[in-house]
Amino acid sequence: MTDQLPLGLPHAARPERVASVILDTPVFHLDQEFDYSVPDGMDGVAPGVRVVVPLAGRATSGFVVGVAATTAHAGRLSAVTRLVSPVPVLTPEVLRLCRDVAATHAGSVSDVVRLAVPARHARVEDRADLARRPVEPGGEEPGWAEYTGGAAFLRHLREGSSPRAVWTALPGVRGSRPAWMEDLGMAIGATIASRRRVLVVVPTAREAAQLLEVVGHLAPSVQYHGDLKPAARYRAFLSILAGQVDIVVGTRSAVFAPVPDLGLAVVWDPDDDNLAERHAPYPTALAVTALRRSCAILVGSYNRGVQAQQFIAAGWAQPIAASRDVVRARAPRVSAPDTEDVRGESARIPETAFRLARAALENGPVLVHVPRSGYLRSIRCATCRGQVRCRHCGGPLELGATGSVVCGWCGRTQAVTCAVCGSTRLAAYSLGSARTSDEIARAFPGVRVVLSDARTGITTHVDSRPALVIATPGSEPLAEGGYAAALILDAAVATARPELSASAVALNRWLTALALVRGAGAGGAAMILGNPEPTLAQACVRWDPAGFAIRELDERAELHFPPAWRLARLTGPRPDLVEVARELGLRGPGTLELLGPVDDVLLARVPRPDGRDLTGALRAIQGERSAHKQEVIRVHIDPPEL
């Protein structure tokens, strides 16, 4: 029992039932349990239900996390005002997960619970059938023999064990679906055979729907993600809560799904930007899944991210990957010509790439992968090469197909004069998907051109007829039987971001696109153009994401960067950051390193084993600042965009 506001019944009139409540409030120092008396007749109050309670004279929502006959609080107890619903939507397992996420990310439990439990939809709840059904075991699901350690992993799942693994999936397309979906279906079937349920988290709702088409026949299943309408999302949540479905497939928000008898939690493509939470305390789907207990965990991707490699290096998970011979047969033949190879040819798409595309078009569609959407996505002064920005909001400027200059942030059309040299001449820094589509159409007259990006619309599938498909990361359509070839354009632009993870993100995007191309045995080929980093190019040519991840992790360990170290990025006014830095120096572990503050940013980092000590100190400081009505500093643990 923690502090309680002095309102309500006197000590002598103690009730027989006391509810411990977590308040739904953003105020950091109120991130604790408060005891309230349960009035006579309010029989539905139980752990996990929603209630309304008084807080400083105001009605405040909250969740009951415990009910007891006594309280250790010596003051008065306020009474629960109203029982919102008798449905226990916050299960003990999800509550424990929320507490762990808050502890590891220096956040408040109420913020995490807000991510975990969707808004109530009363009409759906009133009509819901919450009767529990047992898991019906399916048939045997043999497979994964081509993966080293794969057959053993499936056997452990069928036997009811809870292994943890990092799975480097083989590339390829079977019919109109990525091969990894069918492979994952084998792991799902093995888990269902042990009378346990499965949770799969993927980057997009499109992938969730595709995966459910592949594995939905194995057992009762449901999609659960933020793209659903509120009523449909809450209906799916209640079916999961009641144990009426055995397979849950969703996006980032599904990572907290209250799946009973959970046997396997899967995160596919954990390094995708879509799987990083945008709200405090900013956990990633992988970080949340890794905190789940008593279930098997499978981290899958064509790539092997540096965090996944950290799991392997620490012995927390075992690798599952195919042999080199199998990989060479399943992956396309990838080349990355350097400057010497294409001297005298077109700087962006050399003649060697055109020859590859022309030959491949005789056998099927060709994927042209570009890093950005739009027309001329970035422009600069053609005279002094200086950057030009919107005169209204300072945003990046783009050149549209009609020749007009438009701000990428506020959308205003404007004439541009360079603030440095006064020139009105503009040059392209990077070409977008729309401009690429125009160039490709001119170079290949009579060939069907398909453009797929977030601006013009995402195409999900193309048939096996010849076509040139221009797509941005995450927008690549699936081609029936796989693409005959692929061109990865503007490789240097893809790695030009200043973030620590820029190279790893680029590799993940390239491998995801290349995996849609037919294997070398079937004539599939690809080319990476635009001065790629040699280490990234070789990781694709050799299809060796594990080797790149090992080197990347070693470099980050030397530099004291995540995931080898835990790092907190603190953002706020500089005077406040100076004060927080002083407090951290007094409370933090002895291994603490402070960088800054510089402007409005302070970095604090510790070796990974001391991560909980760092986040614990930060939570204590945040609580005290909140109690004293000081500004709470924004804290982001291991930010991907560092």
Position 511 scores a pLDDT of 97
Cα–Cα distance for residue pair 639/619, rounded to 1 Å: 17
Cα–Cα distance for residue pair 164/308, rounded to 1 Å: 11
Confidence of residue 494 (pLDDT cuts 50, 70, 90): confident
Average pLDDT over residues 13-24: 82
Give the residue carrying structure tokens 């299809």: 543
Confidence of residue 1 (pLDDT cuts 50, 70, 90): very low
- Flag whether pLDDT at 10 surpasses 60: no
Q: Give the DSSP letter string of 391-458.
A: TTT-PBEEE-TTS-EEETTT--EE----TTT----EEEEE--HHHHHHHHHHHSTTS-EEEEBTTTB-
| Mean of pLDDT over the chain | 90
- 18 contacts 71 by C-beta, under 8 angstroms: yes
Position 423 scores a pLDDT of 83
In one-letter notation, the amino acid at residue 411 is G
Position 2 scores a pLDDT of 44
Instruction: Note the CATH architecture for domain 1-88.
Output: 3-Layer(aba) Sandwich (3.40)
- Flag whether pLDDT at 12 surpasses 50: no
Indicate the angle between helix axes 179-193 and 150-158, nearest 10 degrees. Answer: 30
Burial of residue 325 (number of CB atoms within 10 Å: 0-12, 13-18, 19+): exposed
Q: Which of 633, 563, 553 is nearest to 605 (CA)?
A: 563
Position 608 scores a pLDDT of 96
Confidence of residue 405 (pLDDT cuts 50, 70, 90): confident
Q: Which CATH number fits domain 560-637: 3.30.450, 1.20.140, 3.30.70, 3.30.110?
A: 3.30.70
Confidence of residue 502 (pLDDT cuts 50, 70, 90): confident
- Report the range of poorest mean pLDDT among 89-98, 182-191, 339-348, 597-606: 339-348
Burial of residue 145 (number of CB atoms within 10 Å: 0-12, 13-18, 19+): exposed
- List, for residues 159-180, the tens digit of each pLDDT value: 999 999 999 999 999 988 999 9
CATH top-level class of 147-327: alpha beta
- List, for residues 19-65, the tens digit of each pLDDT value: 999 999 999 999 999 999 999 989 899 999 999 999 988 999 999 99
User: Phi, psi (5° rounding) for residue 367?
Assistant: -90, 130
Average pLDDT over residues 375-400: 68
- Flag whether pLDDT at 229 surpasses 80: yes
**Domain 147-327 identical in fold to domain 332-375+431-542:** yes
At 333, list the tokens. 């033949």
H or E element at residue 624: helix 611-627
- List, for residues 76-115, the tens digit of each pLDDT value: 889 999 999 999 999 999 999 999 999 999 999 999 999 9
Cis peptide before 563 (omega within 30 of 0): yes
- Flag whether pLDDT at 399 surpasses 80: no
Cα–Cα distance for residue pair 205/202, rounded to 1 Å: 8
- Flag whether pLDDT at 296 surpasses 70: yes
- 576 contacts 630 by C-beta, under 8 angstroms: yes
Q: Which residue has the higher pLDDT, 554 or 495?
A: 554
Position 377 scores a pLDDT of 52
User: Phi, psi (5° rounding) for residue 14?
Assistant: -60, 135
- Domain 332-375+431-542 carries which CATH code? 3.40.50
Cα–Cα distance for residue pair 516/480, rounded to 1 Å: 10
Position 5 scores a pLDDT of 39
Position 417 scores a pLDDT of 82
Cα–Cα distance for residue pair 575/634, rounded to 1 Å: 14
Average pLDDT over residues 315-331: 96
- 375 contacts 402 by C-beta, under 8 angstroms: no
Domain boundary assignment for the chain: 1-88, 147-327, 332-375+431-542, 560-637
Average pLDDT over residues 239-250: 97
Radius of gyration of the chain (CA): 27
Q: Which of 293, 285, 321 is nearest to 165 (CA)?
A: 321
249 DSSP assignment: E
439: left (phi over 0), alpha (psi -120 to 50) or beta: alpha
- State percent of the chain over pLDDT 70: 91
pTM: 0.88
